[in-house]
C-alpha cells in the first residue's frame, strides 16, 4: 500500500521546539507564498509552496541612433530591472519539527490570500487539526497515489538526470539516465509499509495493477521482532553488517554445490530462514536482519519483474520509504531485478523520490495555473541535492539528521523541447565527460572552478559599481558557490551527473541568487562597441580575397573570434592583463593546420556543392566573436542562398551574447551592411532564443519556438561554436543533418586530454550516413 508506515513511537510525536531555524535559508520567499501543500509521512514532512521571487535582470535597450551617431556613445544602455520569477519551494524535515515550522510559516506569511492547504500522506490526518489551527488554512486531503504519480511525472519531465541506476561497486554508484522524450509508459513500485505497483500510461491514466503486503513494514515489523531493534535505519545498519548465509538455506546447502541443469548457482537462496528451522543455535541480529532484507528485496524484485513482463514495460521506478536514499535497499532491489530479468530490466531510482507526494499534492492545488504547460528547472543554488544517507558514503550523516532538505524549481519563461534534428533523442547525452565517473577530471575541474572564483567575485562587484552592498553580496555568492563545490567534491551525484556544464550552471544560479544577473554586461557592451567599429573593414578585406581564400579566412576568423572568451581562465588572464589583445593577435595564436581535429577540406568540398537550405547557428561570445567572427561567416552563407537562424541565450551567462543584445547588434550591422539588411528584411536571417542561460548547450532542452523554426525552414546544417557548446557538450552529439562543431581549446588541461595543446583547433564537419550520397554525388560548381 502506499501509506508510509506510521510510527507510533511517542518520541516522534513530541515537538522539539528548541530548534532554531535559520529562517531565510529554509522557508524562503514566504512573503508571497501561496498554494501550500503538505505530505506527512511516517517520519518526514514535506512542505510545498509556490512563490514569486523578485530578482534583478539585466536589460539592454538600444539608443536612438538615427539622430546622430557620435563615436563616443555606447551602442546600447544597460539597465537592471526587477523581474518576477515563479518558483516552487519544497522543504523536507523531520515530523518532530512540524509545530515549530508551522509557527514560523504563520509568522512570515503576510501577502497571501490562500485558504486551503492540500495534504497527502499517511500522517496527514494526524496533524490535520494542528495545521488548521496554526495556519488557519483548511486542510484538503488528496489521494496519495494520485499525488505520487503526478509528482513522478513532473520530476521525470522537468529534471534532467532525475532517474538513476544504482551500482554498488562502481566508482560512481549513481548512474544517471537520460530523460527520454516520452516518459510514458512506466511502472512505479512504491515500497511503503506494503508495496503498490502502478502502471502509468499518460499524465492522467494510471492504474494500480498489483501490490504485495510484504514491504517496508514487514522489514521493519518483523525485523523489530527478531532483533529487538526499534528504528528502521538501525535495522538497515544491522543488515548491512550481517551474513545471510548462516540463516538462509542456500542451493549448495541442499545440493552440495550448484543445481547445474537449472543454472542455479550454489550461492542462491533456496529457502529464506531455512536454517533457522533446523538448528537450535542462536543467530546474530545482524545475520537475521540481512536475511530478512534479502528475503523482502528479492520478493519485491520478483513481483516487479512479473508485472513488468505482464505489461511489457521496461522502465521500472522504485520509491517509498523502504528505498528512500538507502544504498543498502537500492542495492538489494537492483540485484534482485537483475537476477529475475537477467538484466533486461533495470531498477531505476529517483533523485527527488521523497518529494513526489508533495509535488503531486501541490500540482493538484495549482491546476488552474496549468503548471504542466510550463517547463521548470531545478535551481541548483536553492536545492540541497541528493544526499546519501549511508554512513559509509556520507560521513556527515549524523550531522544531517535534523537538518532540512530543499528543492527549488524555477518556472522557465519558455517551454523546452528537443532539437528536432537530434538523431536519437533518447540516447542523446549533452555532456562529453561525466565527471562523476572520471575522478581525475573531477578533481581538475573542481579545482579549476575554485581557482576562478576570485575573478568571478571581482567581476561581479565591478559590474555593479553604483551599489555599495555589492561587495557584501559577492562574498555571499562566493561562500555559497564554494560550499556547493565542496558538497560536489564529496557527493558528485548531488545534482545528477557532475559535468562542466552543471558546474557552470550552478555558478550562474548562485550569481542570480545574489542578484548578479549579468556580471559581464559592461564588458560585453565595451567589446561589442569596439568590434562593431571594425566590422565594415573586416568585411571589406574578406571580399578582396579569392573564393577559396575567403572560405578559409572566414573559418579562421570565426575561430580567432572564439578565442575571446572570458569563461576560459587562460584567456581571461590575458584579456585582463592586456586589453589590447586584438583580433589579429588572436589569429596568430591559432594553431596552424592541420588542426587537432581538421575536417576543413571536406567542408570546403561541400561548399563547392549546392547551398544549404537553412543553417542553425548556436552562437557563443559577445564582441569580436559574434561581430567579426560569426557575422562575416553568416553573411557568406546568406550570399550562397542559405537561410540562417541565429540561436542565442535567453538570459546572460558569462560573456555569451544574449538574444536581447544580438537583436541590437543585428540592427546595427544591418544598418551598415546591405546583405544583412536585406536578409533581415526578407526574413532569411532570423534570430531565436535558445531557451538556455548556460554557457553550454543541452540540445534536449531548447525553446519550443526554435524547434518550430528549425522544422519550418527545413534546416539542413547546424553550426555549434565554442568550447562550452561544442566541446564540453555536444562533441559527440549525433545530428540527422550536416553539422559543424568549431572551437578553440582554451584550457591546457582539456587540450592535453584531447591530445592537443593550448589554442588547438577543433573543426568537426559531420554528415550523417544517410545524407552522405547527396554530398558525394554533387556536381561541383565553380563559385563566383
Q: Which is nearer to other proteins, 276 or 506 (CB)?
A: 276
State which of residues 193, 240, 384, 692 lies at the interface with other proteins (CB under 8 A): 193
In the complex, the smallest distance separating the C-beta of residue 602 from other proteins, rounded to whole angstroms, is 53
> Using CA atoms, how far apart are residues 282 and 417, in angstroms rounded to an integer?
60
Restricting to residues 117-176, which ones interact with other proteins according to CB under 8 A? 122, 143, 145-146
**Among 314, 417, 477, CA closest to 698:** 417
In the complex, the smallest distance separating the C-beta of residue 39 from other proteins, rounded to whole angstroms, is 15
Q: Which is nearer to other proteins, 342 or 540 (CB)?
A: 342
In the complex, the smallest distance separating the C-beta of residue 282 from other proteins, rounded to whole angstroms, is 10
Rg over CA atoms, the chain: 29
CA distances from 139 to 3, 88, 135, 150, 192 (A): 18, 20, 10, 19, 23
Is residue 254 a contact point for other proteins (CB under 8 A)? yes
In the complex, the smallest distance separating the C-beta of residue 124 from other proteins, rounded to whole angstroms, is 12
Is residue 7 a contact point for other proteins (CB under 8 A)? yes
Q: State phi, psi for 313 to the nearest 5 degrees.
A: -115, 140
Using an 8 Å Cβ cutoff, are 383 and 407 in contact? Answer: yes
241 secondary structure, DSSP code: H
Q: Which is nearer to other proteins, 195 or 662 (CB)?
A: 195
717 secondary structure, DSSP code: E
Q: Which is nearer to other proteins, 276 or 521 (CB)?
A: 276
In the complex, the smallest distance separating the C-beta of residue 248 from other proteins, rounded to whole angstroms, is 7
Stretch that binds other proteins, among 62-70, 244-252, 458-466, 758-766 (CB under 8 A): 244-252
Using an 8 Å Cβ cutoff, are 73 and 63 in contact? Answer: yes
Cell 524484485: give the residue. 301
Q: Which is nearer to other proteins, 296 or 366 (CB)?
A: 296
Is residue 279 a contact point for other proteins (CB under 8 A)? yes
Q: Which is nearer to other proteins, 244 or 635 (CB)?
A: 244
State which of residues 222, 482, 670, 754 lies at the interface with other proteins (CB under 8 A): 222
Q: Which is nearer to other proteins, 85 or 224 (CB)?
A: 224
In the complex, the smallest distance separating the C-beta of residue 168 from other proteins, rounded to whole angstroms, is 18
Q: How many CA atoms lie within 13 A of 562 on its CB side?
A: 32
Q: Which is nearer to other proteins, 194 or 430 (CB)?
A: 194
Restricting to residues 303-362, which ones interact with other proteins according to CB under 8 A? 303, 306-307, 309-310, 339-340
Stretch that binds other proteins, among 45-53, 248-256, 442-450, 674-682 (CB under 8 A): 248-256
Q: What is the x/- site pattern for other proteins, positions 708-747, by CB under 8 A?
A: ----------------------------------------
DSSP line for 273-286:
TGGGGT------HH
Using an 8 Å Cβ cutoff, are 589 and 495 in contact? Answer: no
- In 173-215, where does DSSP find H-type helix? none
Stretch that binds other proteins, among 193-201, 460-468, 485-493, 761-769 (CB under 8 A): 193-201
Is residue 5 a contact point for other proteins (CB under 8 A)? yes
State which of residues 162, 173, 248, 286 lies at the interface with other proteins (CB under 8 A): 248
> Using CA atoms, how far apart are residues 685 and 716, in angstroms rounded to an integer?
15
Give the number of other Cβ atoms within 10 Å of residue 762's Cβ: 23
Is residue 1 a contact point for other proteins (CB under 8 A)? yes
In the complex, the smallest distance separating the C-beta of residue 147 from other proteins, rounded to whole angstroms, is 12
In the complex, the smallest distance separating the C-beta of residue 151 from other proteins, rounded to whole angstroms, is 16
> Using CA atoms, how far apart are residues 536 and 328, in angstroms rounded to an integer?
66
Peptide bond into 568 cis (omega under 30): no
Using an 8 Å Cβ cutoff, are 725 and 561 in contact? Answer: no
State which of residues 57, 167, 224, 393 lies at the interface with other proteins (CB under 8 A): 224
Using an 8 Å Cβ cutoff, are 59 and 79 in contact? Answer: yes
Is residue 289 a contact point for other proteins (CB under 8 A)? no
- E strand map for 18-70: 34-40, 44-62
The set of cell numbers assigned to 487 is 558538497
> Using CA atoms, how far apart are residues 20 and 29, in angstroms rounded to an integer?
18
State which of residues 276, 375, 418, 739 lies at the interface with other proteins (CB under 8 A): 276
Is residue 213 a contact point for other proteins (CB under 8 A)? yes
State which of residues 43, 212, 729, 760 lies at the interface with other proteins (CB under 8 A): 212
Q: Which is nearer to other proteins, 3 or 386 (CB)?
A: 3
Sequence-separated (6 or more) residues with CB below 8 Å from residue 733 = 422, 428, 430, 699, 739
Report angle CA 528, 529, 532 to the nearest 5 degrees.
Answer: 80
**Among 509, 504, 626, CA closest to 568:** 504
Q: Which is nearer to other proteins, 181 or 257 (CB)?
A: 257
> Using CA atoms, how far apart are residues 388 and 529, in angstroms rounded to an integer?
50
Amino acid at each position: 500500500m502506499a501509506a508510509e508506515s506510521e510510527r507510533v513511537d511517542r518520541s516522534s510525536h513530541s515537538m522539539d521546539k528548541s530548534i532554531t531555524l535559520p529562517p531565510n535559508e529554509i522557508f524562503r520567499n514566504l512573503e508571497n507564498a501561496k498554494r501550500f501543500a503538505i505530505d506527512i509521512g511516517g517520519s518526514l514532512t514535506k512542505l510545498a509552496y509556490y512563490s514569486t521571487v523578485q530578482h534583478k535582470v539585466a536589460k539592454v535597450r538600444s539608443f536612438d541612433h538615427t539622430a546622430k551617431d557620435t563615436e563616443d556613445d555606447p551602442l546600447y544602455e544597460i539597465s537592471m530591472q526587477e523581474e518576477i520569477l515563479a518558483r516552487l519551494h519544497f522543504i523536507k524535515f523531520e515530523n518532530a519539527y512540524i509545530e515549530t515550522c508551522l509557527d514560523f510559516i504563520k509568522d512570515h506569511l503576510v501577502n497571501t490570500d490562500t485558504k486551503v492547504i492540500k495534504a497527502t500522506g499517511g500522517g496527514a490526518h494526524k496533524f490535520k487539526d494542528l495545521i488548521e489551527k496554526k495556519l488557519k488554512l483548511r486542510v484538503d486531503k488528496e489521494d496519495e497515489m494520485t499525488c505520487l504519480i503526478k509528482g513522478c511525472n513532473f520530476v521525470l519531465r522537468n529534471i534532467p538526470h532525475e532517474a538513476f541506476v544504482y551500482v554498488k561497486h562502481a566508482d560512481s554508484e549513481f548512474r544517471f539516465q537520460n530523460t527520454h522524450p516520452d516518459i510514458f509508459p512506466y511502472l512505479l513500485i512504491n515500497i511503503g509499509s506494503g508495496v503498490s505497483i502502478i502502471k502509468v500510461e499518460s499524465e492522467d491514466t494510471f492504474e494500480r495493477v498489483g501490490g504485495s503486503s510484504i514491504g517496508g513494514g514487514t522489514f521493519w515489523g518483523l525485523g523489530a521482532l527478531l532483533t529487538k531493534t526499534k528504528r528502521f535505519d538501525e535495522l538497515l545498519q544491522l543488515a548491512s553488517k550481517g551474513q545471510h548465509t548462516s540463516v538462509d538455506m542456500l542451493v549448495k546447502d541442499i545440493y552440495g554445490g550448484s543445481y547445474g541443469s537449472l543454472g542455479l548457482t550454489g550461492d542462491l537462496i533456496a529457502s529464506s530462514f531455512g536454517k533457522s528451522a533446523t538448528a537450535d543455535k542462536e543467530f546474530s541480529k545482524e545475520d537475521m536482519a540481512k536475511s530478512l532484507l534479502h528475503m523482502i528485496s528479492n520478493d519485491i524484485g520478483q513481483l516487479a519483474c512479473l508485472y513488468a513482463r505482464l505489461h511489457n514495460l521496461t522502465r521500472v521506478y522504485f520509491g517509498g520509504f523502504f528505498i528512500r536514499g538507502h544504498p543498502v535497499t537500492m542495492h538489494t532491489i537492483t540485484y534482485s531485478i537483475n537476477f529475475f530479468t537477467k538484466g533486461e530490466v533495470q531498477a531505476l531510482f529517483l533523485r527527488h523520490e521523497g518529494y513526489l507526494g508533495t509535488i503531486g499534492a501541490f500540482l493538484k492545488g495549482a491546476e488552474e495555473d496549468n503548471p504542466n504547460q510550463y517547463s521548470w528547472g531545478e535551481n541548483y543554488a536553492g536545492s540541497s541535492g541528493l544526499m546519501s544517507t549511508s554512513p559509509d558514503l556520507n560521513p556527515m550523516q549524523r550531522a544531517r539528521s535534523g537538518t532540512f532538505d530543499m528543492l527549488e524549481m524555477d518556472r522557465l519563461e519558455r517551454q523546452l523541447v528537443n532539437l528536432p534534428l537530434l538523431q536519437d533523442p533518447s540516447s542523446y547525452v549533452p555532456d562529453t565527460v561525466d565527471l562523476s565517473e572520471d575522478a581525475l577530471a573531477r578533481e581538475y575541474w573542481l579545482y579549476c572552478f575554485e581557482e576562478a572564483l576570485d575573478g568571478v567575485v571581482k567581476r561581479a562587484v565591478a559590474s555593479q559599481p553604483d551599489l555599495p552592498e555589492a561587495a557584501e553580496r559577492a562574498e555571499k555568492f562566493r561562500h555559497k558557490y564554494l560550499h556547493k563545490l565542496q558538497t560536489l567534491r564529496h557527493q558528485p551525484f548531488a545534482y545528477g551527473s557532475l559535468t562542466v556544464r552543471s558546474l557552470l550552471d550552478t555558478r550562474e544560479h548562485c550569481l542570480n541568487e545574489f542578484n548578479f544577473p549579468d556580471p559581464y554586461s559592461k564588458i560585453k557592451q565595451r567589446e561589442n562597441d569596439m568590434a562593431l567599429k571594425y566590422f565594415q573593414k573586416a568585411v571589406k578585406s574578406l571580399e578582396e580575397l579569392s573564393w577559396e581564400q575567403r572560405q578559409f579566412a572566414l573559418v579562421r576568423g570565426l575561430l580567432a573570434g572564439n578565442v575571446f572568451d572570458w569563461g576560459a581562465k587562460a584567456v581571461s588572464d590575458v584579456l585582463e592583463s592586456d586589453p589590447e589583445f586584438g583580433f589579429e593577435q588572436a589569429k596568430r595564436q591559432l594553431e596552424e593546420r592541420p588542426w587537432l581535429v581538421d575536417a576543413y577540406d571536406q567542408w570546403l568540398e561541400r561548399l563547392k556543392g549546392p547551398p544549404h537550405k537553412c543553417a542553425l547557428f548556436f552562437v557563443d561570445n559577445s564582441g569580436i566573436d559574434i561581430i567579426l567572427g560569426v557575422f562575416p561567416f553568416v553573411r557568406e552563407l546568406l550570399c550562397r542562398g542559405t537561410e540562417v537562424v541565429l540561436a542565442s541565450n535567453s538570459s546572460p551567462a558569462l560573456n555569451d551574447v544574449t538574444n536581447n543584445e544580438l537583436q541590437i547588434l543585428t540592427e546595427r550591422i544591418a544598418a551598415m551592411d546591405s546583405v544583412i539588411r536585406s536578409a533581415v528584411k526578407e526574413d532569411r536571417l532570423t534570430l531565436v532564443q535558445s531557451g538556455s542561460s548556460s554557457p553550454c548547450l543541452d540540445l534536449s532542452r531548447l525553446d519550443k519556438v526554435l524547434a518550430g523554426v528549425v522544422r519550418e525552414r527545413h534546416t539542413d546544417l547546424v553550426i555549434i561554436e565554442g568550447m562550452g557548446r561544442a566541446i564540453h557538450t555536444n562533441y559527440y552529439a549525433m545530428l540527422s543533418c550536416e553539422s559543424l562543431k568549431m572551437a578553440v581549446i582554451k584550457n591546457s588541461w582539456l587540450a592535453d586530454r584531447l591530445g592537443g595543446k593550448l589554442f588547438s583547433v577543433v573543426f568537426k564537419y559531420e554528415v550523417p550516413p544517410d545524407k552522405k550520397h547527396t554530398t558525394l554525388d554533387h556536381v561541383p560548381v565553380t563559385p563566383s
